[in-house]
A and B are shown apart, each in its own frame.
Chain A
Amino acid sequence: MSSKYYFDFVFSGFGGQGILIAGNLLCYAAILENREVTFFPSYGVEMRGGAANCYVVLSDSQIGSPIPSHPMASIIMSTPALNKFLPIIKNNGIVIINSDIVSIKDLQREDLNISLIPANKLSSEVIGNERLANMVMLGYLVAATKCVCLESLVNSISEVVSEKHKKMIPLNEKAVLAGYELFQKNSRG
């Protein structure tokens, strides 16, 4: 079962921010690349206070536990999410925080690779409202981790956007691209 290709993530925020959709989208993208995937959503008591989170594992072989104890990377879209998950992220892991929503005081993890992304602002800029901040975050994460290629990610959008909201597909693409490009700009800069 030992894998050459292996990633695990936690995405966390509030219900309604599209946390679970982002997780699903990443899984579809990895499936397009013939990876094994698990998606595990929060449930029960974890959902109190409106929290939403999900764990995603991508691998080139059968996945054991779908719940990583120490995720390699994360998307954080609420202050409670930051407080809950920051302490468990793997050493030197990647943490992407929506700085338009999360109040950041003391991060206390020198080892982590933390990116503060004004995802609401970026979403507004590219699609005219803040609703696709989740896609901006996801685009950034994919660029930062290279867990799937951009093309697969974009190609998967139609899998998670329902028939009813078909016209949202190009907007989702734009938001994902905006996040992706922001990472590239940051890493160049």
Chain B
Amino acid sequence: MEKLFLRGSEALALGAIDASVKFYAGYPITPQNDIPEFLSRELPKVGGKFVQAESEVAAINMLLGASACGLRVMTSSSSPGISLMQEGISYLSGSELPAVIVNVMRWGPGLGGIGASQGDYHQATKGGGHGDYFVPVFAPYSAQEMYDLIIRAFDVADKYRTPTMLLVDVMISLMKEKVIRRFEKRSEVKIKSWAFGKVKEGEQKIIKSLYLKGNDLERHNWKLYEKYKVMCEKEVIYESYLCDDAEIVLIGFGMVARIGKSAIDIARERNVKAGLFRPISLVPFPEKELEAISKKCKKFLVVEMNTGQMVHDIQRVLGKDIDISFYGKPSSYAPTPEELFYKIKEQI
């Protein structure tokens, strides 16, 4: 297995190649341009297609077309561009077409800034587009996870015939780390019998999201929901660090969890019994796992680089009897480990 030193964005793009992505469409936006730059160079070498679209709206719909043909497809963008893609994500979900969407988050609303932010948690996890659907969302916190989770995102997308999303902190995208290329020799993706092949095979295939007859749409929506229930059983991933004896557990995803780990180490050095819980799959959310921790630990500190989004999910899962405090940092700069340690200490 090859050991590399890569930026998070490069690790992600390389992971996509190893996952056999064969189609990318996107539109330039800071701070994720190194992903299309990498793929425009590397995709043609593996027989893939790269298209620079006229807009994010067009890009996501190009994915819809290429995905209908059975290819593994992806796009990447940053917050304002992801807003434009929401229409297409809703159609992909409705049409049950797999695709991977990468959001390297920047600071909003509006044009906002290009600094680090986790302001798109709600948009990503609660469905930014219209209708009744769920998009599995994964939040990497290292270059290695950028590589591993994009491969997982492709697999989950195919398994459930759904768009999936990687919600990425800009700092994870920029940071360089060691990456082990675990899946370089991965076998080709299975042929998708529902997709358009090289010619029409037997019955006409119709891929659509319009259901006007009788209760077809109701049945369709329940089918989408049933897929989500299966994901809740099978696709949850999380990390728990020193939670067993913790008197307080810090909860964060992505970059915050990374910094949080340092804060926990500082706490432990000073005999403060603190732990860290990190949802890696934001959809499906690790509800049971969090509940299990709350059987022992009664204090939680939720930290996000926004004014409070995931904290609502934590409150929903843990209920009113658990002491949940929130520290938000909707600023261009991530919190420091010392800052988080101080916040932990404040709570006990």
Contact = CB atoms under 8 A, between A and B. Distances in A.
Direct contact of A and B (CB under 8 A): yes
Interface residues of A, number: 23
Contacts of B259: 64-65
Interface string B244-273: 000000000000001111111100110000
A18 interface: no
Interface in A62-91: 62-67, 69
A40 B115 contact: no
Interface stretch (A41-49, A128-136, A139-147, A166-174): A41-49
A40 B178 contact: no
A100 interface: no
A28 interface: yes
A141 B269 CA distance: 29
A24 B10 CA distance: 15
Nearest to B4: A31
Given A37-B177, A44-B115, A69 B336 contact: yes
Given A37-B5, A45-B115, A2 B177 contact: no
A67 B264 CA distance: 16
Contact of B171 (A2, A66, A69): A66
Interface in A1-55: 1-2, 24, 27-28, 31, 36-41, 43-45
Contacts of B258: 64-66
Given A27-B5, A66-B258, A2 B269 contact: yes
Contacts of A24: 5, 176
Interface string B89-128: 0000000000000000000000001110000000000000
Given A1-B261, A64-B265, A65-B258, A41 B334 contact: no
Contacts of A65: 258-259, 261-262, 334, 336-337
Nearest to B335: A65
A28 B170 CA distance: 23
A44 B31 contact: yes
Contacts of B170: 43
B189 interface: no
A41 B178 contact: no
Nearest to A2: B265
B265 A40 contact: no
A24 B265 CA distance: 26
A33 B338 CA distance: 29
A167 B10 CA distance: 27
Contacts of A40: 171, 174-176
Interface string B321-348: 0000000000010101110000000000
A43 B177 contact: no
A69 B337 CA distance: 8
B118 to A, nearest CB: 16
Nearest to A41: B174
A57 B261 CA distance: 15
Contacts of A69: 336-338
A24 B177 CA distance: 10
Interface in B161-209: 170-171, 174-178
Given A2-B265, A45-B115, A38 B31 contact: no
Contacts of A43: 31, 114, 170, 174
Contacts of A64: 258-263, 265, 337
10 contacts: A27-B5, A37-B176, A38-B176, A38-B177, A45-B113, A64-B263, A66-B258, A67-B334, A69-B336, A69-B338
Interface of B: 3, 5, 31, 113-115, 170-171, 174-178, 258-265, 268-269, 332, 334, 336-338
